[in-house]
Amino acid sequence: MSNTEVNDPIRLAAPVVFRAIDKYIESNIVAATETKIRGGDRVTWGDDNGYPDYLLSLYKEVATLGSIVNGCVDYVAGNEVTFVSELFPDGKCNRLGELAVDIVRGAALDWYIFGGFAFEIIRARDGRPVEIYNIGIEKLRTNEDCNVFYWSDNWAKGGRDKKTYPSFLPDLDWATLTDEERDRHAASILYVKNTRKQVYPMPLYAQAVKDCEIERSIEEYHLNSLENAFAASAFIQLCNGVPSSDEIKQQIVDDLLEMYAGKDNAGRIMVSFSPDRQHSALVQELHTEDFGQRYEALAKRSRQQIFTSFRANPNLFGIPTESLGFSSEEYQSAFNLFNRTQIVPVQGRIIDAFERICGVPGVLEIRPFNLAGDRVSTTE
């Protein structure tokens, strides 16, 4: 703007309203609330029952998180999974032909995304467990005692198609049950979570959810900056009169927000209202010289926070750091610590679940992961 425009007494005397729009609000992050349904025993999982779906979206859309989760699944499955049980003589866990390694990987995936896993156990007519299925924990809801489970393919629509399951009871005396009780326990749920203080589990990265959102938003920003002409930050001055009410001002701002601003349009704008200027709008770009550096620093910090939440070294997941090198000795040292604190405990949970189902110890063995890919077990 020229000096004449700045010193214009009419413009200086007129009321000017400024508003920075498209501020990201934390309400976009789904909270892990737990609320008991009025008139029932079921407990919801998150705002609008959507917390696990939110976590699943982060896993699918945040590259760093997805890399860590997938890497942890590989580590949990190790080099070989061996399953030997009289109940499953051919080694297959269900009629779909899934092997124990498939069930182990499914359980590990749910554990690192949601903080827990669940198996559906099918019994034969004589009460013997004969099938094991991964049942996506995001599709389960339960009561406060975690002994009645409800499965639905779409909780966002209220779970209208829900099915009810009892908790798996390994010591169930099948011979003493009535026909009705046998029917009820023909399919049951074995539920494992990482916390006792809540009805539902919490993921390891719960404290880094904001950092996951930062990484996701940065990726969306850069994608849209390639496709939208309105990519630079800007100041818009509306010069066709000041709206008569705050409601009208808000509507104008909201319309501009929807059309131009935010990470979806790779820009952020400011809006002002002033009397008149031939009924035109002035647009002035607001350049920030170090904008790219700020994004790079923010992205680096968010990645580090996500790794910190897993107590993980990026090199363990094929993501190089800024160090000059990472020797095999350093890798093994870092892996031994990570394996002992973050992998072995999860393997133990899964092995314990198989033992509860089969009723005897030692039915499942997971040979530890090593870079050579051999089947030689190591001592922890």
Higher-pLDDT residue of 149, 315: 149
Residues 19/271, Cβ–Cβ less than 8 Å: yes
Q: Over range 58-87, report the average pLDDT.
A: 96
Residue range 201-221, pLDDT digits in tens: 999 999 999 999 999 888 776
Q: Which of 92, 173, 174 is nearest to 133 (CA)?
A: 92
148 pLDDT band, cuts 50/70/90, is very high
Cα distance between residue 225 and residue 230, in whole Å = 8
Secondary structure of residue 51 in the 3-state scheme: helix
Amino acid in position 346: V
> 126-156 burial, b for 16+ CB within 10 Å, e for fewer?
eeebbbbbbbbbbbbbbbeeeebbbbbeebe
Residue range 99-138, pLDDT digits in tens: 999 999 999 999 999 999 999 999 999 999 999 999 999 9
Cα distance between residue 35 and residue 41, in whole Å = 10
Secondary structure of residue 229 in the 3-state scheme: coil
- What pLDDT does residue 61 have? 94
Residue range 323-338, pLDDT digits in tens: 655 677 888 888 999 9
Quick check: 90 pLDDT over 90? Answer: yes
Residue range 235-260, pLDDT digits in tens: 666 666 677 788 887 887 777 666 65
Q: What is the pTM of this model?
A: 0.78
- What pLDDT does residue 238 have? 66
**DSSP for 4-18?**
HHHT-HHHHHS--EE
Can you tell me which residue has the tokens 């107590």?
311
